[in-house]
Each structure stands twice: as C-alpha cells, then as structure tokens.
C-alpha cells in the first residue's frame, strides 16, 4: 500500500508524513525528491524541474513498487505532484503493479502557504540562495492550487491547516476504512 501525501510547497506534506511515521512505525518513507537530486547529479534538467524528466517519473514509480514488493510494508510518499499527466503516469504505474494507492491532497490557503514558506530556511548558510528557493516555491503556489481540480477522482482532500495530529488521524482512519 502507498499513501501519497500531495499539496503545494509549504502545505505540510513532510510534517504529516513525520507524524504518520511515528504512529505507523512499520511504514517506510519514500521521498521522490531524492530521486530528483540523484538525476540532477547525472544529467541536465533542461526545465529546472526534475518532474519534467520522464526518467524521474519512471524511477519514482519503480522504486515505490519495489519497496512495497520487497518489504511488504506500507510506503509513505510526501511529494507535490500536480501535473495531471505526470500524476496519471505515476499512479497508473503503481495501480498497474497491483498496489493499493491512497492519494491525499492538503488544501491550504495561499496566505498560509506564503507564511510557511517565509518561515522556512532551506540553505541557512546562503541567504541569497535561500531567497531564490522561497521564490521558486511561491511561484508554484498558484499552479498547485489550480491543479486540485484536475487530480485523480479518488483523491482525498484534507484541510492542511489542521494540526499534523488531526491530519494523521484522518489519514489513518481513511486508510483503515479502505483496508
């Protein structure tokens, strides 16, 4: 089983997965950003967004399938994935492998997202780079918010302004009800 936690940058995906992990210790965490970082070391990413690489999408799905098959444990995936074609590719590969996928999207207002992004430090030793990363995240808020309507029909929307504990309760309740 895969529990994919989706949402804009700053919506609380990683925080929710951290909360889920403490309450579901057998679950593994698969962070697709790490796949992107590896690919950036190997090849050029012409658009600057590794999600645009077909290889990234294939590797993310293949690694998730491999983790489920190899370890027979639930896999938690915190990753913004809002391009409907890319979501279809990845979720289609997971479902095609016979893996149960629970897809959650954290809905958070633009104002709260901007406040959260402004409150984060991505590269503390490089303030100029830190600001570039913040700008990059903020530039993607609108596409993330707009994409919510184009996500797969089985997406479960959650109020991302709730506490991580409340969100984890909802996710675990939903997953257990579907099992």
Question: pLDDT class for 116, splitting at 50, 70, 90?
Answer: very high
Task: Tell me the C-alpha to C-alpha distance, in Å, between residue 69 and each of 1, 28, 48, 98, 101.
Answer: 10, 12, 32, 10, 14
pTM above 0.95, yes or no: no
Residue 179 has a pLDDT of 58
Question: pLDDT class for 148, splitting at 50, 70, 90?
Answer: confident
CB distance 42 to 116 below 8 Å: no
Q: What is the CATH number of domain 2-169?
A: 3.40.50.300
d(CA 20, CA 33): 19
- Is the confidence at residue 68, as pLDDT, over 90? yes
Q: Where are the domains of the chain?
A: 2-169
Nearest partner of 17 among 97, 76, 92, 66, judged by Cα: 76
Neighbours of 13 (CB within 10 A): 24
């Amino acid at each position: 089983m895969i529990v994919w936690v989706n949402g804009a940058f700053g919506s609380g995906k990683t925080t929710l997965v951290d909360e889920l992990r403490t309450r579901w210790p057998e679950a593994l965490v698969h962070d697709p950003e790490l796949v992107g970082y590896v690919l950036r070391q190997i090849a050029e990413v012409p658009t600057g967004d590794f999600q645009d690489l077909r290889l990234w999408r294939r590797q993310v799905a293949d690694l998730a399938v491999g983790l489920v098959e190899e370890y027979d444990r639930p896999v938690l995936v915190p990753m913004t994935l809002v391009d409907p074609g890319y979501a279809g590719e990845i979720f289609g590969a997971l479902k095609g492998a016979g893996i149960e996928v629970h897809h959650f999207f954290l809905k958070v207002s633009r104002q709260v997202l901007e406040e959260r992004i402004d409150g984060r430090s991505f590269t503390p030793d490089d303030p100029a780079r830190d600001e570039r990363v913040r700008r990059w995240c903020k530039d993607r808020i609108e596409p993330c918010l707009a994409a919510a309507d184009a996500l797969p029909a089985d997406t479960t929307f959650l109020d991302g302004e709730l506490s991580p504990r409340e969100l984890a309760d909802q996710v675990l309740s939903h997953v257990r009800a579907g099992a």
